[in-house]
Structure 1
Amino acid sequence: MTRDQIKSIGDDIAYMKAMAEEGSRGPLLGGSILVAAGLIFGPASLVHWAVQADILAIGMANVTWIWMAALVAFVVALAVLSRRVGRMPGAMSPANRASGTAWMAVGLSIFFLALSLAAMSYRIESALPALIFPSLIVGLYGAGWAVSAAMSGQKWLWAPAYGGWLAAPVLAWFTGEPAQYLVYAGVLMLLTIAPGLVLMRQEPSDVV
């Protein structure tokens, strides 16, 4: 093998290494999905609070339909936004793949925990198991942000991670009070809309 061939191989390896490092340092994508989650589930939480506090007279039985409508709206938004995010430069970087997997796991965990708590409530004929749900959700959001922070190297993302974990026992403290879902709405928006908007500002403007 000639010196020029060795140099060419070395240049190729250096180029590939640089591309890999650049990909890992690229901006995190998916901020729009988190913003959508906050804009959809935050108001649903406010409606829940307003009904519990006797501010909105639609009956607690109808609150379930509010949450179901919010879930359908988010699934539609997720399908649309995921396609757009997937076409952005850097979507397949290690950081974005790990972060995307983590948030998918968070979403699926929330869904199946909701089913589990609903089944438990039905079996024991009590709504008590569902009272822990807000704390579980914000705790899982904390886990999602922790993975995003660790994989991207963006230290500011540890703020919503710790925020989610600390908010879990705070929400548990308000169990049984209408204020629980008012506080939950505020926490949810802080954990989704605020950091999601920051991530959106960092995203590339072009879509492949």
Structure 2
Amino acid sequence: MSEQSDLEYLRDVAASGQYAPSLSGRFFIWWGGLAAPALLAHWSIITGTIAIPTQYVGLVWLAYGIIGLIGSSLLGRTLRNKPGTGAVNNRGEAAAWRGVTWMVAAYAIGAVVAAFLGRGHAILFDTIPLVAFAGYGMSFNVSAQLGGARWMQGMAILAWLFSGAGLLLVGTHGLYLFAAAAVGILAIVPGLVLLRGEPAAEAV
């Protein structure tokens, strides 16, 4: 690579706003704000706290998925006038979180299909939030490596710890209370921090 091309490359990196503030805060709050109540509803149904047949747990998560995807799509439109949407770190972060979303969706659908075909134990459903936490850790790690705030690396480690520690609660009702609290720490709190740090929208 020539000296001139080196300079052009560096100029392109700078122009892309590689270290622009993260724009994912609203998505953290949206998904966390849906997941925590869904986990609490799951716990309430399976413990009999709410007098609803346990088979309705599936409807809770179906609603979570549908509402979540629709809301996430609408939230994406609110970023159109935000500076930094084309930044390397924001593009990479968005790609990482999309990957985690579809990874967890594929795992959950696989658990449902396996249970329906009699090839999987119901305990598989308890592992879904733990797989999600592991994915959170990967996404936080990617964000940190692409120039995100230093605390994101700490969140990655915390997410992985939650994923492993949650295995101790698999098969118990307490898992869902644990998962709801973990979502608050891993999604809602970081979301509020990131949202406060967003740049103002550009005038149109």
Q: TM-score, normalised by structure 1?
A: 0.87
2:145 is matched with 150
In structure 1, what is the Cα distance between the partners aligned to 2:187 and 2:180?
Answer: 11
Q: Which residue of 1 aligns with 2:89?
A: 95
In 2, distance between residues paired with 1:168 and 1:146? 15
- Decide which moves more: 60-69 or 20-29: 20-29
Instruction: Please say if residues 31 and 199 of structure 1, whose CA atoms lie closer than 8 Å, have aligned partners that are also in contact.
Output: yes
Deviation of 1:160 (Å)? 1.6
In 1, Cα distance between equivalents of 2:13 and 2:35:
38
1:60 has 2:39 as partner: no
| Percentage of matched positions with identical amino acids | 27
* 1:18 Cα offset (Å): 8.3
1:135 lines up with 2:130 in the alignment = yes
Distance 1:17 1:28 in 2: 21
User: Paired residue for 2:105, among 95, 104, 111?
Assistant: 111
1:23 alignment partner, SS class: coil
Runs (4+) of structure 1 moved beyond 3 Å? none
Matched, 1:176 2:168: no
* Partner-residue secondary structure (3-state), 1:25: coil
One-letter code aligned to 1:152:
G
Once residues 97 and 127 of structure 1 are traced to their aligned partners in structure 2, the CA distance between those partners, rounded to angstroms, is: 37
| Equivalent residue letter for 2:105 | F
Match of 1:190 in 2: 185
Q: Say which SS state the counterpart of residue 79 (structure 1) adopts.
A: helix
The residue that corresponds to 2:160 in the other structure is 165
Gaps of 5+ in 1: 1-9
Shift of 1:17: 2.4
Q: Partner amino acid for 1:63?
A: V
* Contact 2:20-2:87 at 8 Å conserved across structures: yes
Identify the match of residue 78 of structure 2 among 77, 80, 84: 84
| C-alpha distance in 2 between matches for 1:195 and 1:112 | 25
Residue in structure 2 matched with residue 28 of structure 1 by the alignment? 22
Letter in 2 for 1:146: N
User: What is the CA RMSD across the aligned residues, in angstroms?
Assistant: 2.0
Kindly indicate whether residue 200 of structure 2 is the aligned counterpart of residue 205 of structure 1.
yes
Query: Cα–Cα, structure 1 residues 130 and 21, in superposed 2: closer, same or farther, change >3 Å?
Result: same
Once the two structures are TM-superposed, the CA of residue 146 in structure 1 deviates from its matched residue by: 0.7
C-alpha displacement of 1:43: 0.2
2:22–2:148 Cα contact (<8 Å) kept: no
Give distance in 1, aligned partners of 2:179 and 2:193: 21
Q: Give the total of aligned pairs.
A: 196
Q: Please state whether the residue corresponding to 1:24 is helix, strand or coil.
A: coil
TM-score normalised by the chain length of structure 2: 0.89
**Bigger radius of gyration among the two:** 1
> Aligned partners of 2:65 and 2:133: how far apart in 1?
17
SS of residue paired to 2:146: helix
